[in-house]
Amino acid sequence: MPSKQTTLPSRSQVLRMRAGRLPRLSWVVAGILVAGLLGWFLYRTPGAPAPRTVAEVAQAHPVGPPWRHGPADARFTLTLYADLECPFCKAYYPTLMAWIDAHPEASLRWHHLPLAMHDPEASRLARVAECAGEAQGHEAFFGAIAWLYQNTRGDGQGLPTDQAWPGLTTAMRACLESDRPAAIVRAQADEAMRSGINATPTVRLEDSLTGRSLLLHGPVEGDALLSALDLVASKETVVSMRP
């Protein structure tokens, strides 16, 4: 059986084939450029929605308190009842904040609940956070919370004697010398107690669409939080959930 031979094109044939493809390639490149310019024009058209920055999201929240972290239009709200001298809250807070940042359908709302066993330091630190928020807004409040948890000795011992909140401004000093922060902290603690919440950390999960809520006792991990979101979004009636 005769073998089939492959004949390589000559150099002149290769040049002619490349020349024939060039006009077609030029049209392809032109089409890509036009499509890119059209996409850029549509993106830049006035009125087109643009991604929001962290600062814009924070500004979307009404002036606090209550202080909030996360998208203002989030469907789910997690209210954290916490004590700034509570060691369990201290360990749980970074985990919960990271979870909120990873789930734009949820936002966090802070609720002061200084426990008697940790006072007067728990209430004093809560007043510092309140004044940071009053002076600079929502993210400053949560920045103060993070710093206080990182630096307090916990269990009612407070900050080391040689350490103070580094963001202490004239406005914050005036706030701390007033009765405003103490009244806010006391009112939130009283509200929690009236609701039967007397331990920290506790999280109340609320669904703005269904109107249902769920009380989560103790540090609740990420997978359990997702299950809790499913529960309040479902048609089932739920009351509380313990880890």
Per-residue pLDDT of the chain (243 residues; tens, 9 = 90+): 443 333 334 444 433 444 444 344 343 334 433 344 333 333 333 333 344 444 444 446 667 788 999 999 999 999 999 999 999 999 999 999 999 999 999 999 999 999 999 999 999 999 999 999 999 999 999 999 999 999 999 999 999 988 887 878 888 999 999 999 999 999 999 999 999 999 999 999 999 999 999 999 999 999 999 999 999 998 655 455 555
Rounded to two decimals, what is the model's pTM? Answer: 0.72
C-alpha span between 136 and 228 (Å, rounded): 33
Residue 166 pLDDT: 83
Residue 242 pLDDT: 52
Residue 7 pLDDT: 36
C-alpha span between 167 and 82 (Å, rounded): 22
The kind and range of the H/E element at 181 are: helix 180-194
- Which residues, including other chains, have CB under 8 Å from residue 66's CB and lie 6 or more apart? 79, 109, 110, 111, 188
C-alpha span between 233 and 208 (Å, rounded): 9
The kind and range of the H/E element at 112 are: strand 106-112
Residue 22 pLDDT: 38
Which candidate, 112, 129, 128, places its Cα nearest to that of 197?
A: 112
- Locate the DSSP E strands across 185-227: 202-207, 213-217
**DSSP bridge partners of 214:** 205
CA separation, residue 56 to residues 53, 81, 82, 171, 202 (Å): 5, 26, 26, 23, 29
Residue 7: strand, helix, or coil:
coil
Distance of CA 178 to the CA centre of its chain: 30
Instruction: Quickly tell me which residue has 């490349």 as its tokens.
Output: 18
Residue 236 pLDDT: 56
For 115, the token pair is 């426990």
